[in-house]
Amino acid sequence: MEPNCVIAGKYRVIRPLGEGGMAEVWAAQNLLTDRQFAIKLVLPSLAARPDIVERFLQEARATGRLKHPAIVDVFDVGRAEDGRPFMVMELLRGCTLDQHIRSVGTLDPLTASVLMGRVARALVVAHRAGVVHRDLSSANIFLAASRDGKPWPKILDFGVSKLMRPRDRRVRTDSGSVMGSPDYMSPEQAQGSDAVDARTDVWALGVLLYESLTGRTPFVGRNYNALMLAIMTVPHCPVRQLRPDVPEALCDLIESCLIKDPSARLASALAAATTLEAIAHVLAAGRDAPGPRRRAADRLPLPSQRAPDAQVPAHVFSPTVRAFRRMRSQRGSGSVAIAALSTLLGVGMGSAWSGASRVAPELRAGIAPASLPAVRLSSRPAAPPPTRVAETDLVRAAAQGLGLDPRLSGRK
């Protein structure tokens, strides 16, 4: 086929996008809408084989009935002028997962969890519709460029076995054809069992996760038969031995997908999707906030020992003591001196307490201030106490606190 050829009277091919398996893919433009699509046509050498044509149409039917953001859209099916069947799909820009791994490298655990979680969700839709892919591989996962610049996975080739070109690294049979991609085959597929169900896609999902994180598939073999034997009987190397930074929960999920006995394997794609989404959520939270979140008060420096209770500075009472002693030296002025002292004591303690309350927020925060602010005596009289205290008790307590003879309290 040459560029600018018209297919079915309405699609003009623009440029080739690739060739592999049983088909070739071209970028094309709809002559009526000017919208661009990808057109997939059966290779001319295979167009005369009824089994190939039927498999091609089966892919079109299977993909066309599935609607999910992670499954490539099929918009039209028809036959070209030369009789070859074709399907019209959305035109994707990006690369396949295996191309990304070869050119860029492995994925980090968060990216792998997010991408494979979306693939698992697409498999849930397919399985509920009664469609089993049976050929999941990194070559069938297309990483499409999205509007935000982040890759979005698209599952390709539902229900279609691929013919690999000689330079492809995957194992081929002697005839050059394989049923599916051997590296991703489940043990039941390797045995040729007829009981192949949705759990074979769960196995392939585990292989995809393994390859995304390590850059290799879990089973290898010198030829097709050796690979099939390894898949059925040989234990694989755990991901944690190849990538110690992969979280344990993600490693456990991969192990549960790669259990050889289907009855003991992870039961469904839904279980895989739910687990991958939970792992991605935890990893994303850890990336956004490397350390534990703390309140502002928690970040304040803590004192080495408990802050002392607020105390009234001694200098507040020095003028009061001197005044009391001057009055006491005068004959007959004891009662007057004690009364004056009581008033000054009340004013001084009230003012000092008021000053101490100004630092209470600091004390409540657990920080001991270096020194309390100076407090000046107020000229305003102290407010009366809520309850009356006997004058003799107050005088006796004041005299004892100043180290004076308690008998002064009884002088008239």
> Crossing angle, helix 248-257 and helix 199-214, to 10 degrees?
140
Contact 80, 74 (CB under 8 A): no
What would the DSSP string read from start to end of 152-176?
A: EEEE--TT---PPPTTSSS---TTS
Contact 112, 247 (CB under 8 A): no
Strands (E), 255-342: none
Three-state DSSP at 194 gives coil
Residues 6+ apart with CB under 8 A from 245: 109
Residues 6+ apart with CB under 8 A from 35: 29
Neighbour tally for 109: CB within 10 Å: 22
d(CA 66, CA 68): 6
Burial class (CB in 10 A: 0-12, 13-18, 19+), 384: exposed
Buried b (16+ CB within 10 A) or exposed e, 257-266: bbbbebeebb
Contact 341, 333 (CB under 8 A): no
d(CA 294, CA 300): 10
Q: What are phi and psi of 347, to 5 degrees?
A: -65, -45
Contact 399, 409 (CB under 8 A): yes
Q: Catalytic residue, from 98, 135, 157, 183: name it.
A: 135
Contact 179, 196 (CB under 8 A): no
Burial class (CB in 10 A: 0-12, 13-18, 19+), 304: exposed
Q: How far is CA 134 from CA 74, 159, 186, 187, 337, in A?
A: 19, 6, 9, 12, 106
Contact 173, 240 (CB under 8 A): no
Beta partners for residue 155, in sequence order: 71, 141
Catalytic site includes residue 135:
yes
Residue 356: which H helix or E strand, with range? helix 334-357
Q: What are phi and psi of 334, to 5 degrees?
A: -60, -50
What positions carry a catalytic annotation? Answer: 135
